[in-house]
A and B are shown apart, each in its own frame.
Chain A
């Protein structure tokens, strides 16, 4: 990939960032909502960990950190949808996608760049304040070493890519289903359930827990949160990254294959 290509995608990513940055009131309102939900969930976790200290391998302050991390990453990793997919579905539905195919840029990378920009904004705009409020109101287990923070950010980035790859597949389904709303909804239901947003996946019983931890959605919250909480010391971190990167690559590749089948259809049908 040449310098010009890299610059192109950097511009697209910056555009994704700026586009979301314009909605200041909406961002403030969103932060407020995340904070309110953070408080409510935090109290329920306190009640739960009061009864069962060390539940799921977390102590109280780790469990509380998990709650606020969930609120901080909810938008960043698009656990409830709300990324680019609605727009892409709409473009497929209206046939505007045919125009995109003539752009001198790769369709998947183009949308990925935009979504990374969006995620970066959401991490800064909607992640920091709830985390700060949470750490003021509760005793959170914040990493002391900058290395862990960095490792966490890498894990979040990988989580965003996995999230993107899944949602890209969801959007492509609109080529066949025409109304992508149903698939999109199934996808966010799965994301809500299997990301660990509902409860840490370590609290899921037996086989359900094993399956949930092996599915790609755990990359969205469970894995980054565990990195944050120091559950992957030393070389273990590599395992976490490999898990996330593996899913990211596999899903991106499937997306690519589906995309080529889908675009062939467009070209044959003339849009």
Chain B
């Protein structure tokens, strides 16, 4: 690892002999850096450490990555089994469902890869190891997010991408430049929306340390929900994931625009272009939740 790329510029006098005076050493000024940049950098540093740790157990990594792939693939196998008995599910064909599945699976997979460790926060609060992160000069969120970074989660992303590829190949769509641009937009916004959910779920664990499972119902559960067409679900449930927990913006609304389908709630067409806005809003709220969660922890301890 090259080690001269970062760090405070080394001027004359920065280095000193043994027994240098305390006053000199405290004189180094650390420029205030924007939290986001610092956070991403720290995240990268910690992720690198976990990657190297993973390589200590190579065989395990290969097995668990495969398991991750297989476990998520089962969801799609279930859908294939369903379509072996029917031609349409909720009025949607297999390629159409595959598009929904592929977008949701890939977006969720990306969020899970980057932020999937947020559900370990409660554990860290319980055993007191969160404190060791709070004495470091980098944002706690970055440290928690990078904790136990698991590359095996790429298995999930890969599975989502494969199904998405299958959908794009088999779907009969009159592609316009706009519709083409919608695909990466959905994936990124969707990943961001799921990511915000992971962060908000982490914030909730400051309050309820054993409640990691609740977060899973929104993240994993949300992913499962989005893999099926909205016409399958009760209107109230669709309203809930559109207006309350805006998961519908991760794939349903933009994907139905690409497919040229009506959204069950009769929303105007332009909502299909809202995902980036919704994602930004979600992150704003998640950030606020995280801040207040951390503040609560720091005023109450564990």
A residues whose Cβ falls under 8 Å from a Cβ of B: 23-26, 28-30, 32-33, 36-37, 39-41, 43-44, 46-48, 51-52, 55, 179, 181-182, 185-186, 189, 192-193, 198-199, 203-205
Contact = CB atoms under 8 A, between A and B. Distances in A.
B38 to A, nearest CB: 33
Given A26-B210, A26-B213, A48-B85, 19 more contacts: A29-B214, A32-B217, A36-B217, A37-B221, A40-B224, A40-B228, A43-B232, A43-B234, A44-B232, A47-B228, A51-B86, A51-B87, A182-B63, A182-B64, A189-B70, A192-B71, A198-B78, A199-B82, A205-B84
A219 to B, nearest CB: 19
Contacts of B211: 25-26, 28-29
A180 B77 CA distance: 27
6 contacts: A29-B210, A41-B224, A47-B232, A48-B85, A181-B64, A186-B63
Nearest to B234: A43
Contacts of B90: 47
B271 to A, nearest CB: 22
B78 A199 contact: yes
Nearest to A180: B60
B58 to A, nearest CB: 11
A37 B74 contact: no
Given A29-B213, A30-B213, A36-B221, A185 B63 contact: yes
Given A37-B224, A193-B74, A198-B78, A48 B89 contact: yes
Quick one: which of B71, B81, B212, B218 has the most chain A CB within 10 A?
B81
Interface string B220-241: 0100110010011110010000
B67 interface: yes
A30 to B, nearest CB: 5
B49 interface: no
B88 interface: yes
B64 to A, nearest CB: 6
Contact of B60 (A33, A43, A55, A179): A179
B63 A40 contact: no
Contacts of A46: 232
Contacts of A44: 82, 89, 228, 232
B81 to A, nearest CB: 5
A43 B233 contact: yes
Contacts of B209: 25
A186 to B, nearest CB: 7
Given A23-B210, A25-B208, A52-B86, A40 B64 contact: no
Contact of B213 (A33, A43, A193): A33
Contact of B81 (A26, A39, A51, A205): A205
Interface string B13-46: 0000000000000000000000000000000000
Contact of A203 (B64, B71, B85, B234): B85
Contacts of B86: 48, 51-52
